[in-house]
A = this chain, B = another copy of it.
Amino acid sequence: MIRVKQALTIILKSIRPLGREQVDLSNGLDRIISFDVRAKCKLPPFDNSAMDGYALRAKDTKGASKVEPRVLQVIEDVPAGYTAKNKIRDNQAIRIMTGAAFPSGADSVVMVEFTKRVKRNKKSYPEEVEIYKETKLSENVRRAGEDVKKGQRVLSRGCILRPQELGMLAALGINRIDVAKRPRVGILATGDELVPVQGKLGKGKIRNSNSFILRAQISKCGGIPIDLGIARDKRRELRSKITTGLKKKLDLLLVLGGISVGDYDLVKDVLFELGMKMKFWRVAMRPGKPLAFGFIKGIPVFGLPGNPVSSTISFEEFVRPALLKMQGAKNLFRPRVWATLTEDLQKKKNLRYFIRAKVKIKNGKFYVSSTGAQGSGIINSLVLADGIIVAPEGLELLKQGQMISVQLLRQGYDGGVI
C-alpha cells in the first residue's frame, strides 16, 4: 500500500503526452493548444478612432468651449472600414467613426457629442464644424499594436481555449490550430451484480451507474470515452473483453471492480495474464483504496474500485491528471482553497481521506462541511458535493474551526459557489 502522493508521482512520471492534431478554430473550444502562439501582425492593425467624432490637431481645439467654440474645416467623412484620402492640416478636421483608420496629420479625436456640424453638404467640401471641447494629444486614438505587438506571445502551449482565446486567434487571422489529441479512454465494468441502466433489476443486482459517471468525467477533461460494456466475473469473458478493448486504439484503459481481495476478484489475475506491468496496487486512501495502475503493451491501465463513489474519486484524483497530462495541459489539478471546517470529522490515521463536502462562501471566506454519510456506496455524497475535503495522513480528528484544504468541483453555471 502506497501513499496518495507517491501514487500520483508514479502515474504522472510514466504518462507521456499524446501527439497533436490540427483543427479549425471553430472546433477549438475547450481544446488544449499545443504551441506558443506568437502574433504575426499587430492588433489593432492600424491607428484608429476609439469614438465617433472628428479627427483633428489638438492645438486647434485650445480654449474651445460651448461659449467659445473653435470652428474647423471638415475636409472628409470616413466610416469604419475605410481610410481617409486627405491629410489633415492646421484648422482642419475629418469626420470619423469608431474603428475607422486614423487620418494622417491628425493627433486626436473629439467626440461627436462635443461638436456641431455647421453646414452639411457632402457634395462640396470643405464644410464647417464647431468644436466645444479641448482635446489632448492622442485622445480617443487607439494606436496600432496597443493590444498586441508583432511577435508578442499571446497564448502559451498547454492553455485551454476559452471563448476569448478563440477571439484572439480569430483577430490574428489564425484559422487552423494545433491542439493536443483527445485521449481515447476505454471503460470496462466488471461484475456479475451489474445490469445496464435500462435493464431489469433482478435479485442481488444493481445498475451500472459507474460507467455513466466515468464517461462524463472523461468528456469533461477532454477525453473520448469508449464504453466496452460489462464483463461477467468469468476469466475467459474478462480476458476477451480486455483484449478487444485494447485493440480499439486506446490511450488509456479503465477496468472497474474486481481488484480487491475477494475470491471472485479475477481482474487482477487476468491483467497479469495479459502482461500487465503493475506499478502499484492499493493506495492509502478512503474511498478508493483498491486502486491499481500499470501498463499492458505500453497502454496505461487503471484498475478502479467497483463502488461508484470510490471509482469517481479515484478518477478525480488520479485519472483526470493523467488525461490532462496526456494533453499537455499546464494545469493538471482542480482549484484548491483553504476553508474553515464547520464540524468535527474523524478518520483513520494512516489513510488520506477525500471527504465529499458542501462549500459555502460567507463574507469572502470559505466554509466547508461533509455531505453527511461517506460510505463508498453513497452516490448522494457525490451529488451533494461542491468540493472534496483533502484530509491528510497523520490526523485522526479534524476539529471544527480548523482550516482545511478543499478541491472545488463545481464549474461554470452549475449553481455552485464556485
Q: Name A residues whose Cβ lies closer than 8 Å to a Cβ of B.
A: 25-26, 29, 41, 43-46, 48, 50, 52, 77, 79-83, 95, 97-101, 112-113, 142, 146-148, 154-155, 158-160, 162-175, 191-194, 197-198, 201, 203-210, 212-217, 219-222, 233, 260-265, 306-308, 312, 320, 324, 329-332, 334-335, 337-339, 361, 363-366, 373, 375-380, 382-383, 385, 403, 408-418
Contacts and interface: CB of A to CB of B under 8 A. Distances in A.
Contacts of A312: 163-164, 167
A220 B29 contact: yes
A171 B415 CA distance: 23
Contacts of A233: 79-81
A142 B377 contact: yes
Contact of A379 (B167, B329, B361, B377): B167
A337 B364 contact: yes
A403 B409 CA distance: 25
Given A81-B192, A376-B50, A206 B99 contact: yes
A1 to B, nearest CB: 12
A164 B383 contact: yes
Nearest to A380: B147
A196 B374 CA distance: 54
B168 A209 contact: yes
Given A29-B220, A166-B216, A366-B364, A81 B204 contact: yes
A164 B410 CA distance: 11
Given A198-B175, A376-B50, A167 B308 contact: yes
Contacts of A260: 52, 98
Contact of A26 (B101, B162, B212, B377): B212
B264 A97 contact: yes
A25 B330 CA distance: 32
A416 B25 CA distance: 22
Given A146-B373, A148-B380, A206-B99, A162 B414 contact: yes
Given A50-B375, A52-B265, 5 more contacts: A95-B263, A146-B377, A147-B377, A338-B363, A418-B418
Contact of A100 (B171, B204, B208): B204
A358 to B, nearest CB: 14
A59 B356 CA distance: 34
A81 B205 contact: yes
Contact of A411 (B25, B97, B197, B411): B411
Given A52-B260, A175-B197, A329 B415 contact: yes
Contacts of A162: 216, 409-411, 414
Contacts of A329: 413, 415
A44 B201 CA distance: 12
